């Protein structure tokens, strides 16, 4: 149960509300993208490049086309607009920020696994066979696989005529040279973090068809139905000729933020006029779809004897892989977040994102935050160690507080409860465990983070929701959101139920249809509850006003006196003066009073920040939290057991405590995997970990129960004061894990994941 | 013009004999084209990866006489299609060779263990096959049936020839595994080092069976997995231990000798140095524990 604030008396908000979508999942009834079939459906397959860097000399599809059962074979020449950009749901055009990529390879191959050709055939087996009959002549090129190497002058050029360096940012505050002079202790280190996969249960998948009106309709696992515009642009048709429907997702984590199968399906449907389905294999997903960016981060941090941070200098290089996609955006998040939730007078951050011939990187839960959190939190622990302070003490001396400014000049006007989250998280670890064998060492670590929620303010983000009340008093919400499994739809039902005084089961939420539900933007950037929650609340409140006004007439009381609840409108002072909601609805209908409202919620709209100094506002608000862990390390084998995990966040206001706890649990484990074992290993652009036999994620026996603590400051900008939790909840775990291991063994591993092998190396065992 | 290799859509014939006679006939008839399959937990991933595509798949799972665990004349005999789940829960294994159960219990996850068989584990001959080190330490032998019906017994340490090459010839089927029931004073240990606590492929594994008299080692058998092209028995360590009083120096020597005897590779799961270090650390611990147990409980 969340604690803290004297809470306003909500009926449903802030309660444990079992989700309406839960049972269907438990029973296996939920129809995910791959579970959907359309009569006469063809099966698609993608031919992928066998080289990470090569020139495509020729493609001969003749043999494949002749194979019985093959309906279409497409290559770049069949794509009307092959060079395209991710520009979804954004109302404001910002140059230099577009996530450029090619639909199908032409000219230079930029990573292994890049799509070269598409096949649609009557069965998967025929489609597979046809792939083998497409003859591609490649001229293999040298390629470049290390981002630091790729940014040197004279490095192999990944693209045709653009520099390997996609973009760079700077943050300048004070004067770091002077700052380091004030420091009694300075620590400096280079940290490396790996490429990781989203490892969702459901791989990329979808089915598409041409509807009776000739609209290309795509039902696919996506976090962004508004990709319909980009797909229409690729095909050269008008935007209203492409429709995307998002079913319930089997996990997104940013991996379904970029286009996955949608454009391929659209092209094949357009060509064959038949329904087509496409689902990636796991190996295909790991080899060829976007990943979390690997970073190399050089950090230097100085503090006074008293433990006050005085200067921080950071150089970040991220590996974008073969195409731009969302790399500039991810890098901007890292750049702003590089200094952590700390108040530092002198700051200098330089960051670059660089093309290589590795698998492309793009969105992954945390969006650039987990990388810098690991580096920054490692530096704090190193400083604490040298100063003889505890990890908690040094952090307390430096946390940003409400009213303080970030290094970018942005003032934190909303609540900042980081210190409380750290105190509570550490306290909840309880008594330290004892080692169970002579070679075991116990260690504890904490890490705090400040992670944004809501999209970057220069994108001028908007969301819409339609709330209507039916003649019997039941409520419908229509919102073009994508439910990634976090309870996105369910939380809107709760909000509408709260505002309109009905039980949650009286509310039906229609989501995820770019043609029929009001467009609500992406389920990314921890923005969904913030944006669509506010839009839904706004629309529901407008409907409530009409109803209350009518009820006031019927009851002959002042509308100000009226409350809603139990499907009734009643006088707050005299609850016996009540009228059934259904009666009020009917009365409104009879008078022609609208029984619905479509509301739009706009996030604060700002201009681009100053890229030379980093000064300006990039995000609407931040979520603050701390994770604490206790581990035991066997110093002879390097094996680590995680004994305890606590995750404490200021959630602003929990809407559904069950869903919020779910985010805290899942987030902690998602981040733990990053710290402990996850890594997509590439050798010269070849993925060596293409399946879950090599790409390891924590199993149930690797993780203890996560203890969650929610603080409700009420200080968020979401509905009812809520903050966002989806991404923030995963950010500090890897850093907390690394800090705990370091505490246990008295040595530091500076690269993620902190594997047994790296632990033994840090201990000087070999 | 360079051509992409063509994969053709072929259909595999799938046969399910119900007794050994049937099996032998099928193997004789389809010699050269048939592969046997039991739990298919190695076979299916290999087929999916395109590494093998047998024309005829012969499923052993319907042959009741291939699935058993029993004691016979001082030996323990295990049918080839006995699953890891059965090994892990067998009272015979628990009392006769509990460290084999320990190994079986650590194969994959419950779904894997319900299908994976001991015969498949050995025949697949991965250096990381988890039942191999304890079976080597138990001095096990495998029984093999040829397509002509001939039966032969092969000591397990001679069964593994080189990387993924075994004594199994064309059409041969591994039918059972036997090992002498260890004497009462003998204690076996198996330690698997994987990269997570469940369902992970060993980066190194060690099995040791020691028969002690006070602190003197009477007999020793030592085997290691994932540190050489085959699961290997380390005879030289056995010689070093047998007949000797086990002290700190000897333990250190054993652990050094192990490092010299093995030839681990570096791959995505770990470097050669890491494998070598943990294998020797584990061996050391196992010997120390065997001695400590003696001290605590007496002979
Ligand atoms: C998720 C997962 C996790 C795994 N984890 C582990 C692990 O932790 N440790 C481990 O050791 N292994 C592990 N494995 C590998 C595999 O499960 C084991 O090797 C298993 O014992 C193989 O047995 P099977 O019956 O499934 O073999 P199959 O796949 O049926 O056969 C494997 C090979 O052996 C041959 N074969 C099978 N039976 C015979 C026979 N009686 N005579 C002759 N040839 C035969 C087949 O022709 C084939 O070449 C894992 C596999 C998976 C899928």
What pLDDT, on a 0 to 100 scale, did the predictor assign at position B12?
87
pLDDT higher than 50, residue B5:
no
Q: Where residue A547 falls among pLDDT bands split at 50, 70, 90?
A: very high
Sign of torsion over alpha carbons A722, A726, A731, A732: positive
Domains defined along chain B, listed by start? 13-59 (3.30.43.10), 64-180 (3.30.465.10), 186-297 (3.30.390.50)
Indicate if A755 and A622 belong to the same structural domain.
yes
Q: What are the structure tokens assigned to A575, written together?
A: 């609850």
Chain B residues with beta carbon closer than 8 angstroms to that of A756: 193, 195, 274, 278
Chain A residues with beta carbon closer than 8 angstroms to that of B271: 757
The rounded Å distance from CA A693 to ligand 1 centre is: 14
B window 118-147, beta carbon within 8 A of A: none
The rounded Å distance from CA B9 to ligand 1 centre is: 25
Residue A296, H or E segment? strand A295-303
Indicate if A466 and A400 belong to the same structural domain.
no
Per-residue pLDDT tens for A480-514?
999 999 999 999 999 999 999 999 999 999 999 99
Indicate yes or no: CB of A689 within 8 angstroms of CB of B270.
Answer: no
CA distance A129 to chain B (A): 6
What pLDDT, on a 0 to 100 scale, did the predictor assign at position B299?
35
Task: Indicate whether A6 belongs to any domain.
Answer: no
Indicate if A300 and A442 belong to the same structural domain.
yes
pLDDT higher than 70, residue A91:
no
CA distance B277 to chain A (A): 7
Indicate if A228 and A252 belong to the same structural domain.
yes
Three-state DSSP class for residue A373:
helix
The verdict on B250 touching A (C-beta cutoff 8 Å) is no
Share of chain B above pLDDT 70, in %: 95
What pLDDT, on a 0 to 100 scale, did the predictor assign at position A730?
98
CA distance B1 to chain A (A): 6
Average pLDDT value for residue range B17-27: 97
Distance CA A81, CA A83 (A): 6
Per-residue pLDDT tens for B29-78?
999 999 999 999 999 999 988 899 899 999 999 999 999 999 999 999 99
| Mean pLDDT rounded to a whole number for chain A | 96
Name every residue whose Cβ is closer than 8 Å to that of residue A748 and which is 6 or more positions away in sequence: A378, A381, A382, A738, A742, A762
The rounded Å distance from CA B43 to ligand 1 centre is: 7
Domain CATH number, residue A629: 3.30.365.10
Domain CATH number, residue A106: 3.90.1170.50
Q: Where residue A101 falls among pLDDT bands split at 50, 70, 90?
A: confident
Average pLDDT value for residue range A604-631: 94
Indicate yes or no: CB of B45 within 8 angstroms of CB of A693.
Answer: yes
pLDDT higher than 90, residue A242:
yes
The verdict on A755 touching B (C-beta cutoff 8 Å) is yes
What pLDDT, on a 0 to 100 scale, did the predictor assign at position A696?
97
Chain A residues with beta carbon closer than 8 angstroms to that of B277: 760, 765-766
Sign of torsion over alpha carbons A285, A286, A288, A294: positive
Distance CA A216, CA A228 (A): 9
Chain A residues with beta carbon closer than 8 angstroms to that of B274: 638, 756-757, 760-761, 766
Indicate if A576 and A664 belong to the same structural domain.
no
Chain A residues with beta carbon closer than 8 angstroms to that of B276: 766
Task: Indicate whether A435 belongs to any domain.
Answer: yes
Indicate if A322 and A427 belong to the same structural domain.
yes
Per-residue pLDDT tens for B65-117?
999 999 999 999 999 999 999 999 999 999 999 999 999 999 999 999 999 99
Q: Which of A439, A757, A765 sits opposite B270 (nearest CB)?
A: A757
Q: Which of A129, A137, A699 sits opposite B196 (nearest CB)?
A: A699
Task: Indicate whether A18 belongs to any domain.
Answer: no
Three-state DSSP class for residue A148:
helix
Task: Indicate whether A191 belongs to any domain.
Answer: no
Average pLDDT value for residue range A431-435: 94
Task: Indicate whether A77 belongs to any domain.
Answer: yes
Indicate yes or no: CB of B1 within 8 angstroms of CB of A60.
Answer: yes
Per-residue pLDDT tens for A154-172?
999 999 888 999 999 999 9
Instruction: Please count the helices (runs of H) and the strands (runs of E) in chain B.
Output: 12, 14
| DSSP per-residue letters across B66-81 | G--EEEETTEEEEETT
Q: Which atom of ligand 1 is nearest to the CA of B175?
A: 41
Could you tell me how many CB contacts below 8 A there are between chain A and chain B?
84
Indicate if A319 and A447 belong to the same structural domain.
yes
Helix ranges (DSSP H) in A115-272 = 124-132, 147-150, 176-181, 228-235, 262-272
Task: Indicate whether A185 belongs to any domain.
Answer: no
pLDDT higher than 90, residue B298:
no
| Exposed/middle/buried for residue A147 (C-beta within 10 Å: 0-12, 13-18, 19+) | buried
Task: Indicate whether A684 belongs to any domain.
Answer: yes
Indicate yes or no: CB of B200 within 8 angstroms of CB of A702.
Answer: no
Indicate if A309 and A449 belong to the same structural domain.
yes
Residues with CB under 6 A from ligand 1: B 35-43, 45, 60, 80, 107-108, 112, 115-117, 119-121, 123-124, 128-130, 168, 173-174, 199, 201
Distance CA A481, CA A522 (A): 7
Chain A residues with beta carbon closer than 8 angstroms to that of B8: 129, 132
A window 397-456, beta carbon within 8 A of B: 439
Q: Which of A126, A641, A699 sits opposite B198 (nearest CB)?
A: A699
Last residue of one domain, picked from the residues A569, A587, A602: A602
pLDDT higher than 50, residue B2:
no
Q: Where residue B214 falls among pLDDT bands split at 50, 70, 90?
A: confident
Distance CA B243, CA B239 (A): 8
pLDDT higher than 60, residue B6:
no
Name every residue whose Cβ is closer than 8 Å to that of residue A363 and which is 6 or more positions away in sequence: A254, A255, A257, A258, A290, A326, A330, A524
Indicate if A115 and A260 belong to the same structural domain.
yes
ipTM for this model: 0.94
Q: Which atom of ligand 1 is nearest to the CA of B174?
A: 42
Per-residue pLDDT tens for A524-545?
999 999 999 999 999 999 999 9
Indicate if A623 and A567 belong to the same structural domain.
no
The rounded Å distance from CA B121 to ligand 1 centre is: 4
Q: Are A418 and A447 within 8 A, CB to CB?
A: no
Share of chain A above pLDDT 70, in %: 97
The rounded Å distance from CA B111 to ligand 1 centre is: 13
**Cis check: omega of the bond before A753, within 30 degrees of 0:** yes
pLDDT higher than 80, residue A199:
yes
Indicate yes or no: CB of B197 within 8 angstroms of CB of A699.
Answer: yes
Indicate yes or no: CB of B278 within 8 angstroms of CB of A760.
Answer: yes
Gyration radius of chain A's alpha carbons? 27
Chain A residues with beta carbon closer than 8 angstroms to that of B9: 125-126, 128-129
What pLDDT, on a 0 to 100 scale, did the predictor assign at position A67?
98
Q: Which of A134, A135, A755 sits opposite B195 (nearest CB)?
A: A755
Q: Which of B193, B196, B273 sits opposite A702 (nearest CB)?
A: B196
The verdict on A636 touching B (C-beta cutoff 8 Å) is yes
Q: Which of B8, B195, B270 sits opposite A696 (nearest CB)?
A: B195
CA atoms within 13 A on the CB side of A576: 0
Last residue of one domain, picked from the residues A602, A624, A649: A602
| DSSP per-residue letters across B48-65 | HTTS---SEEEE-TT-GG
Q: Where residue B293 falls among pLDDT bands split at 50, 70, 90?
A: confident
Average pLDDT value for residue range A356-374: 98
Residue A424: give the domain boundaries: 295-456+608-762
Indicate if A620 and A756 belong to the same structural domain.
yes
Task: Indicate whether A154 belongs to any domain.
Answer: no
Average pLDDT value for residue range A267-273: 98
Indicate if A590 and A466 belong to the same structural domain.
yes
| Mean pLDDT rounded to a whole number for chain B | 93
Instruction: Measure the CA angle with vertex B210, ends B207 and B214; round to 5°.
Output: 150
**Domain count for chain A:** 3
What pLDDT, on a 0 to 100 scale, did the predictor assign at position A84?
80
Q: What are the structure tokens assigned to A73, written together?
A: 């074979």
Indicate yes or no: CB of B3 within 8 angstroms of CB of A701.
Answer: no
Q: Where residue A258 falls among pLDDT bands split at 50, 70, 90?
A: very high
Q: What are the structure tokens assigned to A392, written together?
A: 């908690």
Last residue of one domain, picked from the residues A534, A568, A602: A602
């Amino acid at each position: 149960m969340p604690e803290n604030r004297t809470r306003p008396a909500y009926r449903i908000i802030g309660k444990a509300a079992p989700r309406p979508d839960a049972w269907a999942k438990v029973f296996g009834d939920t129809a995910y993208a791959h579970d959907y079939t359309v009569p006469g459906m063809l099966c698609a397959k993608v031919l992928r490049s066998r080289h990470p860097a090569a020139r495509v000399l020729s493609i001969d599809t003749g043999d494949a086309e002749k194979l019985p059962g093959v309906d279409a074979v497409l290559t770049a020449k069949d794509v009307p607009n092959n060079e395209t950009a991710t520009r979804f749901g954004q109302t404001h055009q910002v140059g230099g920020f577009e996530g450029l990529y090619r639909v199908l390879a032409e000219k230079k191959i930029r990573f292994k696994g890049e799509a070269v050709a598409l096949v649609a055939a009557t069965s998967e087996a025929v489609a597979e066979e046809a792939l083998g009959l497409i003859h591609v002549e490649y001229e293999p090129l040298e390629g470049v696989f290390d981002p630091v190497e790729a940014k040197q002058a004279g490095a192999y050029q990944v693209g045709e005529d653009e520099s390997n360096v996609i973009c760079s940012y700077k943050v300048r505050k004070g004067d770091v040279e002077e700052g380091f002079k004030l420091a009694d202790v300075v620590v400096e280190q280079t940290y490396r973090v790996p490429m990781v996969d989203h490892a969702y249960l459901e791989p990329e998948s979808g089915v598409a068809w041409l509807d009776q009106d000739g609209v290309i309709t795509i039902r696919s696992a996506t976090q962004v139905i508004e990709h319909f515009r980009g797909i229409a642009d690729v095909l050269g048709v008008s935007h209203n000729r492409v429709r995307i429907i998002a079913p319930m997702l089997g996990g997104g984590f940013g991996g379904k933020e970029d286009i996955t199968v949608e454009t391929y399906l659209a092209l094949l449907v357009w060509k064959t006029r038949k329904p087509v389905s496409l689902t990636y294999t796991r190996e295909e997903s790991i080899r060829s779809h976007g990943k979390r960016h690997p970073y190399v981060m050089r950090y230097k941090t100085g503090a006074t004897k008293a433990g006050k941070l005085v200067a921080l200098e950071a150089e970040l290089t991220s590996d974008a892989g073969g195409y731009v996609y969302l790399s500039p955006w991810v890098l901007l998040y890292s750049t702003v977040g590089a200094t952590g939730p700390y108040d530092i007078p002198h700051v200098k951050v330089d960051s670059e994102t660089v093309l290589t011939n590795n698998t492309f990187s793009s969105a992954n839960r945390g969006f650039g935050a987990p990388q810098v959190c690991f580096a920054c939190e490692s530096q704090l622990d190193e400083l604490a160690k040298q100063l003889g302070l505890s990890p908690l003490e040094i952090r307390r001396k430096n946390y940003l507080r409400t009213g303080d400014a970030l290094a970018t000049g942005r003032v934190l006007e909303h609540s900042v409860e980081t210190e409380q989250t750290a105190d509570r998280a550490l306290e909840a670890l309880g008594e330290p465990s004892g080692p169970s064998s002579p070679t075991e060492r116990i260690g504890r670590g904490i890490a705090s983070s400040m992670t944004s929620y809501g999209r970057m303010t220069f994108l001028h983000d908007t969301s819409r929701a339609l709330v209507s009340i039916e003649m019997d008093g039941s409520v419908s919400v229509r919102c073009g959101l994508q439910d990634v499994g976090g309870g996105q739809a369910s939380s809107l039902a709760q909000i509408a139920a709260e505002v309109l005084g009905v039980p949650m089961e009286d509310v039906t939420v229609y989501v995820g249809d770019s043609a029929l539900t009001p467009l609500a933007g992406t389920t990314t950037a921890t923005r969904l509850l913030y944006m669509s929650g506010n839009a839904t609340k706004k629309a529901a409140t407008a409907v409530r006003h009409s109803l209350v006004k009518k009820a006031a007439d019927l009851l002959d009381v002042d509308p100000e006196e009226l409350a809603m609840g139990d499907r009734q409108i009643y006088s707050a002072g005299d609850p016996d003066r009540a009228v059934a909601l259904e009666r009020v609805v009917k009365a409104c209908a009879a008078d022609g009073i609208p029984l619905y409202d479509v509301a739009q919620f706009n996030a604060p709209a700002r201009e681009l920040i100053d890229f030379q100094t980093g000064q300006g506002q990039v995000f609407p608000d931040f979520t603050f939290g701390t994770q604490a862990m206790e581990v035991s390390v066997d110093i002879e084998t390097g094996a680590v057991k995680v004994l305890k995990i606590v995750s404490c966040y200021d959630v602003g206001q929990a809407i559904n405590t069950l869903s919020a706890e779910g985010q805290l649990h899942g987030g902690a484990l998602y981040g733990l995997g990053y710290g402990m074992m996850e890594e997509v290993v590439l050798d010269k652009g070849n993925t060596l970990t293409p399946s879950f036999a090599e790409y390891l994620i924590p199993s149930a026996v690797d993780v203890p129960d996560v203890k969650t603590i929610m603080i409700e400051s009420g200080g968020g900008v979401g509905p009812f004061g809520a903050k966002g939790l989806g991404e923030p909840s995963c950010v500090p775990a890897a850093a907390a894990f690394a800090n705990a291991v370091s505490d246990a063994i008295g040595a530091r591993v500076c690269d993620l994941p902190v594997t047994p092998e790296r632990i033994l190396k840090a201990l000087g065992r070999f | 013009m360079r051509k992409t290799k063509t994969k053709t859509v072929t259909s595999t014939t799938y046969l399910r004999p119900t007794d050994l006679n049937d099996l032998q006939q099928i193997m004789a008839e389809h010699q050269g084209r048939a592969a046997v399959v039991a739990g298919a937990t190695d076979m299916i991933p290999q087929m999916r990866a395109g590494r093998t595509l047998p024309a005829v798949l012969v499923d052993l799972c319907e042959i009741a006489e291939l699935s058993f665990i029993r004691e016979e004349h001082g030996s323990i005999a295990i049918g080839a299609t006995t699953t890891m789940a059965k090994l892990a829960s067998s009272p015979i294994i628990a009392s006769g060779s509990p460290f084999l159960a320990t190994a079986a219990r650590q194969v994959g996850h419950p779904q894997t263990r319900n299908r994976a068989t001991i015969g498949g584990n050995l025949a697949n001959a991965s250096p990381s096959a988890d039942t191999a080190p304890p079976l080597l330490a138990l001095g096990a032998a495998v029984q093999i049936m040829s397509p002509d019906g001939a039966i032969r017994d092969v000591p397990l340490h001679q069964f593994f020839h080189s990387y993924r090459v075994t004594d199994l010839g064309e059409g041969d089927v591994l039918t059972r595994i036997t090992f002498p029931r260890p004497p009462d004073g003998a204690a076996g240990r198996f330690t698997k080092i994987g990269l997570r606590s469940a369902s992970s492929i060993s980066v190194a594994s060690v099995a040791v069976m020691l028969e002690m008299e006070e602190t003197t080692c009477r007999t020793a058998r030592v085997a290691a997995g994932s540190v050489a092209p085959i699961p290997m028995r380390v005879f030289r360590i056995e010689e070093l231990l047998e007949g000797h009083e086990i002290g700190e120096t000897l333990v250190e020597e054993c652990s050094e000798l192990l490092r010299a005897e093995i030839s681990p590779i570096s791959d995505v799961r770990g470097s050669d140095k890491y494998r070598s270090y943990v294998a020797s650390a584990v061996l050391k611990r196992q010997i120390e524990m065997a001695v400590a147990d003696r001290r605590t409980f007496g002979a």
